Structure 1
Amino acid sequence: MTRSVTAHLFCAVNGVVESPDKFQFDAFGPEEGQLMGATLAGVTDVVIGRVLWQEWSEYWPPHADGDPFAAFINPARKHVLTSAGGGDLGWNSTAIDGDPVAYVRDLTHAGEGGITVAGGIETVRTLFLAGVVDTLTLTVHPAVGTGRRLFDDSVPVTRLNLVDSTVTSAGNAVLTYSLRG
């Protein structure tokens, strides 16, 4: 049985996904929390870039009390894209050794539970465009941001299928896509 692979990013209306804390403002409420909870339900493995892993590994372990995301991320198995080589990194984390696309493809055939790609930007972009990520959810906030976009000018024209959509009372459009054909 093949495990599903998802990714979820917060996005400004101009496509910026870098530093969402700078454009989310007051547009994250209970509905967004419920949608994230539903997305992460059943996920046992997280693929993550080294920089984001470093930030989270310093922040989340001591902030475990009552936070729903901490309850998810702290026990999850984390697979870290890093040039440091393979092996145990602590915090239930393993360095990905070799090609990340091949690694995640192999991961879909081993173990149980879902797999999510948490970031960074290049990690999500690479794995999604390689067809390894089954669905990509973008929570588009009603704001214009500054910074890097998920799909910059280096990405060729790529067709997507809209799999699901909802608009929250905070004005966020939650859009889930898959690659077309």
Structure 2
Amino acid sequence: MRKLTAGLFMSVDGVVEAPNLWQFDAFDEQLGAELSGVLGRVDTVLLGRVGYQEWSGYWTTAGHDDPFGGFINPVQKYVASTTLTGDLGWQNSSLIEGDLAAFVTELKQGDGGEIAAMGGITIVRELFFAGLLDELTLLTHPVVAGGGRHLFDPSDQTTRLTLIDSYRTAKGNVVSRYAKAE
């Protein structure tokens, strides 16, 4: 069975939205190595509508010499959206037809490498609570963002996690890898 992972940049106050606004001065070589490791394992990406629209507008112009651009442009991308229709226009991008959880369950049963949920707070949350996310990595930057969306809502049910691994980078970022507790 294929593994489904997600990784989110997070501030100390729990904000995961728009990390480009607050992560820049704490990004270091160790975070770069962490992300390179992910790119080496992943051959399928799941995106939400907002993430897809933001990324397809930016990354399609990135050259192959950009490490993330060289990864995200050719990789197979599946987009979860109830409003997008037709041809998505970004190479190797397909719209998920029907229920996200059912689609991902079937995708995990197929052949291939790791599947990563990227560019979508809502889909990461949905896949987590559906029990389909095998691993959640939080890359916590030493900053208070002050405003923005959080991964979890106050109305979410209490859910126990198991810490798989955790380490601190040279610039004070904490990388924590979790799985749902059995």
Q: What's the RMSD between the two structures over aligned residues?
A: 1.3
Greater strand content? 1
C-alpha displacement of 1:90: 2.8
Query: What is the aligned residue count?
Result: 180
Amino acid at match of 1:163: I
Q: Look up the SS of the partner of 1:98 in the other structure.
A: coil
Residue 78 of structure 1 corresponds to: 77
**Equivalent position amino acid for 1:141 in 2:** H
- Residue in 2 aligned with 1:6? 5
1:83-112 per-residue CA deviation (whole Å, 9 max, x = no partner) reads 146764232100011110111111011231
Q: TM-score, normalised by structure 2?
A: 0.94
Residue of structure 1 equivalent to 2:178: 177
Q: Name the counterpart of 1:126.
A: 126
Q: Please say if 1:90 is aligned against 2:82.
A: no
| Aligned-pair CA distance for 1:30 | 1.5
Q: 1:88 to 1:77 in 2, by over 3 A?
A: farther
Partner of 1:62, secondary structure, is: coil
Decide whether the 8 Å contact of 1:159 with 1:180 is kept in 2. yes
CA distance in 1, matches of 2:140, 2:163: 14
Letter in 2 for 1:59: Y
* Counterpart for residue 169 of structure 2: 168
Note the residue ranges of structure 2 that are not aligned, 5 or more in a row: none
Distance (Å, rounded) in 1 between the aligned partners of 2:35 and 2:87: 28
Q: What SS does structure 1 have at the residue aligned with 2:139? A: strand
Identify the residue that residue 63 of structure 2 maps to in structure 1: 64
Q: 2:150 — aligned with what?
A: 149
Residues in 2 aligned to 1:44 and 1:86: alpha-carbon distance in whole angstroms: 24
Distance 1:65 1:72 in 2: 8
Give the residue type in structure 2 aligned to 1:63: A
1:26 is matched with which residue? 25
User: Aligned residue for 1:140?
Assistant: 140
Tell me if the contact between 2:48 and 2:81 (Cα under 8 Å) persists in the aligned partners: yes
What's the TM-score, normalizing by structure 1? 0.95
Residue 161 of structure 1: how far off its partner (Å): 0.3
Contact 2:49-2:84 at 8 Å conserved across structures: no
1-structure distance, mates of 2:100, 2:50:
15
